Amino acid sequence: LARGSMSAGQTAPCSHAASPCPQRVRTATARIPRCLWLVVSLCTRQAEASKDEVLTKEIVFKLQESISGPEEAVHQLSTEASLVGVKRVHGHGGRFEERHLQHGLHLWYTAKTSGLTSSALKILQSHTSLVSTAAVVPAARLAAVPDDPRYSEQRHHQALEMESAWAITGGAANVVVAIIDTGVDMNHPDLRRNQWINAGEVCGNGIDDDNNGYVDDCRGYNFADGTGTSLEGDGNHGSHCAGIVGADTGNGVGVAGTAGGSKSSAGVSLMHLTVFGNTGTGGFAKALVYAADMGAAVASNSWGYTSPGVSDPSVLDAIDYFNADGGGGRTAGGGLTVFAAGNDGTNDEWYPAFYSGAVAVAATDDNFHRASFTNYGAWVD
C-alpha cells in the first residue's frame, strides 16, 4: 500500500476475467484526507508474482437470485462444466447470515476445473437462467517493501506534518482497521498495544463462541490456512503494513505508526486477516466480509492481481458489502476499502484498486510527485 519504513460512478464486474473490464467512472475524491493517502500508500512496491500465469484454474460464479433450488442448479452446472470441489465462497455467517443473505453472498460459489478452464467458463456463462456472472479467479500478489526501523528516516511523517496532526489525535482504539495481508508477528515489540480483540470469543477453546462462523478468531482470522490461532502467514509483509498504520507510538521502541496513539493512549485497533498463508493463498472476499461484520471502519489491502484488466467478481461484491455494512459505527455510510494501485509504472486497469468501490492509492516522493514505479491514471484517488 509508497514506500514505508518498518519491517514489523459504478461499473459492473467483468463477466470474463481474461477480457478488459468496463471503464471506471470516478467521482470527486477531495473528501479523502492526505494522511489517509499516507496510511494506505506506504506499501506500494509490487513484488514479482510467485507464478507466471495470470489466471488460476479456479472459477468463481454467482447464481441467479431467482433460483429456488441452488443445490440442483449447482449439481447441473458441476456436471456440464466438469467442476470439482464446488463450494460456497462464503460459509454460513452465523449471527450475520441474514445480512449475508440480503446481500446475496450465499449465491457465490467457487470450484476447480478438471478440464479446460475456458470451456468450463463458456458453459457457465451460457446458462444465463442459472448464472448471473462467472469468471476465472486471477492470481494475486503482495506489494514488496523495504526494511527501515528508524523513525528519523520516516520522512513521510515530516512531509505530511504529522506531528501537528498528532497534537489533535494519535488515533482511537474504537476505530478498527483490518489489515488484509500476510498476517502479523504477534510477538513484534512494536505491535503489542494496538491490537483488536474479539471480546465475544474465548481464545483457544475450539468453539465459535460468538456465533460468527469462525472458531478462535480472537485477533482476526487466517483465511488462507483456515485457522484463528495462527495468524502469521507467508513473510512479514503484513507486520510491516500493520506497523505503518498503527505501530505503538511513544513507547520508545522502533517506529511511529500513523495512527499508533501516544505515550499515554492507544491508537487504532488492528484486525489481522491473513490471505497469504503458509499453505496457500485465498479468502480475499471472505476477509472483507468478516471485516465488515466484525466492525472494521477501514480495510487496508496492499495486494492486487498479477495482470491488468482482470478481476474476481466475488471480491468486488465483497468490497461493496464492506462499503455498505462496514464502519463499525465510526464512519458515516459504511466502511472505507483501500487498495494499493500497484507498482508496474503503467496507466492500466489494475484491479481491485481500479474498481469504483475502492480507494486507489499510488506512490509519491516526499514532495508529492508521482514515483517512477507507481501505477497511475484518473482512477487513482
Can you spell out the DSSP letters for 77-138?
HHHHHTEEEEEESS---GGGHHHHHHHTGGGEEEEEESS-HHHHHHHHHH-TTTEEEEEEEE
% of residues, the chain, pLDDT over 70 = 82
**What's the whole-number mean pLDDT along residues 78-88?**
94
Edge-to-edge strand ranges of the sheet holding 55-63? 83-88, 108-113, 55-63, 131-138
Asked if the model's pLDDT at residue 3 lies above 80, the reply is: no
The whole-model pTM stands at 0.79
Identify the pLDDT of residue 36: 47
Of residues 207 and 162, more confidently modeled: 207
Mean pLDDT of all residues in 243-260: 88
Confidence of residue 272 (pLDDT cuts 50, 70, 90): very high
Query: pLDDT band for position 352 (50/70/90)?
Result: very high
| Residues in contact with 116: Cβ distance below 8 Å, sequence separation at least 6, in sequence order | none
Tell me the three cell numbers of residue 32.
479523502
CA distance 190 to 182: 17
Pick the more confident residue, 142 or 351: 351
> What mean pLDDT is predicted for residues 180-192?
91
Compute the distance between CA of residue 271 and CA of residue 261 in angstroms, rounded to an integer: 16
- What pLDDT was estimated at residue 150? 55
CA distances from 106 to 54, 67, 78, 204, 223 (A): 27, 12, 17, 28, 18
Per-residue pLDDT, averaged over 122-134, amounts to: 95
CA distance 30 to 348: 23
Mean per-residue pLDDT, 322-326? 96
pLDDT at 367: 86
Report the C-alpha gap between 83 and 74 in whole angstroms.
10
Confidence at residue 42, expressed as pLDDT on a 0 to 100 scale: 44
Considering all CA atoms of the chain, what is the largest pairwise distance in Å, rounded to the nearest integer? 63
Mean per-residue pLDDT for 125-143? 90
Averaged pLDDT, 101-111: 95
Place of cell 527501515: 148
- How many angstroms separate the CA atoms of 321 and 59, rounded? 21
Instruction: Round the average pLDDT of the chain to a whole number and report it.
Output: 84
Radius of gyration of the chain (CA): 20
Give the model confidence (pLDDT) of 190-233 as tens digits.
998 999 999 999 999 999 999 999 999 999 999 999 999 999 99
> Hey, which bits of the chain come out as E strands?
55-63, 83-88, 108-113, 131-138, 140-142, 176-181, 220-222, 269-274, 298-301, 303-305, 336-340, 359-361
Per-residue pLDDT at 359: 97
| pLDDT over threshold 70, residue 284 | yes
